[in-house]
Structures are given as C-alpha cells and as structure tokens.
C-alpha cells in the first residue's frame, strides 16, 4: 500500500477558507496513493480554542464537501483529519447543539466511509476538554488491503482504546494529531509503543506551524508492526509518503503471537 500523510502547517496568517482550498489541492496531487491522511483540527488548529465555536461546522459542512470531492478526484481513501463538528440543536439527538472533535474518512468514490468522535478530550479542565463533547464509539474502516482503527491525538496515551480497536479487527491505526513541540518525545515513543504492543501499523499525522502560541511538533511518523520507524517527517509542512506491506500485520501476529497471551478479566487489586 502507498500512504501519504499530509503534515499541514496551521498558522494564523492563513484563513480557514484558504487552508481548506489549499489542502483540497494537495489531496488531489496524491492521486496514485491508496490512502491519504490529514491531521487533527487542521482548519482551526487544535489549540485555537477561541475559533472552535466560530468555525464549527455540521458533519456535512464545507470541509466535508471539499474533502469528499478531493478524495473522488484523486481516487484515494482519504482520512480527512478532524473538524470541530457542531451537532445541530434540536435534531433530536442527546448531543444537539454540542461540539465534537470529529474525524471523517472518505472512500475513493467520495462517499463517507466513517466518522469518529474523539473519545479522550485534551486539556484537563480547560480547552477542548470543556468546549467539546466526548465520543463513545470505537470506529474501524475496512479497506481492501487492511482495516483502519481510528484514534485522535490525546487518544494515543490510552492503550485500552487501541486494544479495543484491535479486538474489532484493526490492523492499521491512524492517528491525526495537533501534537505540541513541547512533548514531541512522547509522540514518537507512544506511536512506537502502540505499534509494538498491538502488532499493527501506526500512521500518525501531525501539524506544523504554530497557532494560539503553541508551536507544533510536526514529525509525523509511520511505524510498522515490529516497531520500526518506516518514515518520519521533519518539523515543517511536508508530504510524507510511504509504501508498506499490509500483510506484515498478520505475519507478525503469527510469528510472535504475544496478543494471544493476553490475560483477560484481571481484577483490579483492592487498596
């Protein structure tokens, strides 16, 4: 498979409207790839909390429209990163009016293949953690060659989420992010850990640039099921393209069957 991770620079000197159009062109340029991946909240920036409300869009909004069209034009599976999604008030759902950090995946004909609402919100008692609602559903997407498991940024710190995805059949874990430069060492370490412990590919796509005073780490990374780094970006905007053998997941799990030794149902010790 060939995957291209688009490590987009998210700076305040470019409008959301211009960035959408620029990113759509970049996606079109990836014709020939099997899978294209964008970062988390690349329209606003993951730390531009004050823009979430103003730039929030319905699931089927301007970003959806442009990305669906770009995926179809390029003929690629597109993980379009995430958007600040607003659930319309009064739509009858329990989340009516709320914001979510929602990832979108499109198939090569431009149809929506999946939407994933980020489960672990970042910020403790500030920022995303108070401005957005939490998702509650694990999401996998079947491609012809592999099954994707979806997670977003801070989710990377929660191994139980990834185990759930593996139990649901995931072989390639896709993690769009807006990871800050300050904790870049954690990003690389956790991406490799999730790959090794789950014997899966990890495709982790971050942003470049700086927004709301937070310099971004860049350094998008692709790790194979043995924990080897197949490709790693630098700090700036970059298209990181990698070829990988999807069958290596099954081969690794068969040759070194550690996942079969999981001890389920362990009780938490009483204090």
Ligand X SMILES: O=C(O)CCC(=O)C(=O)O
Interface ranges with ligand X (CB under 6 A) = 46, 122, 153-154, 157, 178-180, 183, 186
Q: Are 187 and 218 in contact (CB under 8 A)?
A: no
- Residue 180 or 225: the one with the smaller Cβ distance to ligand X is 180
Do strands 172-176 and 201-205 pair parallel, antiparallel, or not at all (unpaired)? parallel
**55, 128, 153, 205: the active-site residue:** 153
**Shortest Å, Cβ 41 to ligand X:** 8
Q: Is 241 helix (H, G, I), strand (E, B) or coil?
A: strand
Count of residues for the chain?
A: 271
- Residue 129 or 231: the one with the smaller Cβ distance to ligand X is 129
User: Using the 8-state DSSP alphabet, how is residue 270 labeled?
Assistant: P
**55, 85, 118, 171: the active-site residue:** 118
Please state, in angstroms and rounded to a whole number, the distance separating the CA atoms of residues 149 and 16.
Answer: 28
118 included as an active-site residue: yes
**Shortest Å, Cβ 142 to ligand X:** 26
12 included as an active-site residue: no
**Shortest Å, Cβ 159 to ligand X:** 13
**40, 55, 128, 171: the active-site residue:** 40
**Shortest Å, Cβ 126 to ligand X:** 12
Say how many C-beta atoms besides its own lie within 10 A of residue 101's C-beta: 31
**Shortest Å, Cβ 155 to ligand X:** 7
Task: Give the rounded distance of the alpha carbon of 196 from its chain centre.
Answer: 18
- Residue 76 or 177: the one with the smaller Cβ distance to ligand X is 177
153 included as an active-site residue: yes
- Residue 48 or 240: the one with the smaller Cβ distance to ligand X is 48
- Residue 49 or 77: the one with the smaller Cβ distance to ligand X is 49
Q: Name the token pair of 130.
A: 């108070």
Show the DSSP H helices in 114-210 as ranges: 128-131, 159-167, 184-198
Q: Are 207 and 218 in contact (CB under 8 A)?
A: yes
Do strands 201-205 and 210-211 pair parallel, antiparallel, or not at all (unpaired)? unpaired
- Which positions are catalytic? 40, 118, 153
């Amino acid at each position: 498979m060939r995957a291209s991770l688009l490590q987009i620079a998210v700076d305040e000197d470019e409008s959301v409207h211009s960035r959408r159009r620029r990113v759509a062109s970049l996606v079109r340029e990836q014709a020939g790839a099997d899978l294209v991946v964008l970062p988390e909240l690349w329209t606003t920036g993951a730390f531009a909390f004050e823009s979430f409300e103003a730039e929030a869009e319905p699931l089927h909004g301007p970003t959806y429209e442009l990305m669906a069209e770009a995926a179809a034009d390029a003929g690629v599976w597109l993980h379009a990163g995430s958007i600040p999604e607003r659930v319309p008030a009064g739509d009858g759902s329990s989340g009516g009016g709320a914001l979510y950090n929602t990832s979108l995946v499109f198939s090569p004909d431009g149809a929506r293949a999946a939407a994933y609402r980020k489960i672990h919100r970042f910020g403790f008692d500030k920022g995303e953690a108070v401005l957005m609602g939490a998702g509650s559903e694990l999401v996998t997407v079947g491609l012809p060659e592999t099954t994707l498991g979806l997670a977003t940024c801070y989710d990377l710190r929660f191994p139980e989420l990834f185990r759930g995805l593996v139990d649901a059949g995931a072989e390639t874990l896709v993690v769009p992010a807006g990871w800050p430069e300050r904790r870049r060492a954690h990003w690389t370490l956790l991406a490799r850990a999730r790959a090794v412990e789950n014997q899966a590919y990890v495709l982790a796509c971050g942003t470049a640039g700086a927004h709301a005073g937070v310099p971004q780490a860049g350094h998008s990374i692709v790790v194979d099921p043995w924990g080897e780094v197949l490709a790693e970006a630098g700090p700036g905007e970059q298209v990181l393209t990698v070829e990988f053998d999807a069958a290596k997941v099954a081969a690794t799990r068969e040759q070194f069957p550690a996942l079969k030794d999981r001890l389920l149902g362990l009780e938490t010790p009483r204090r």
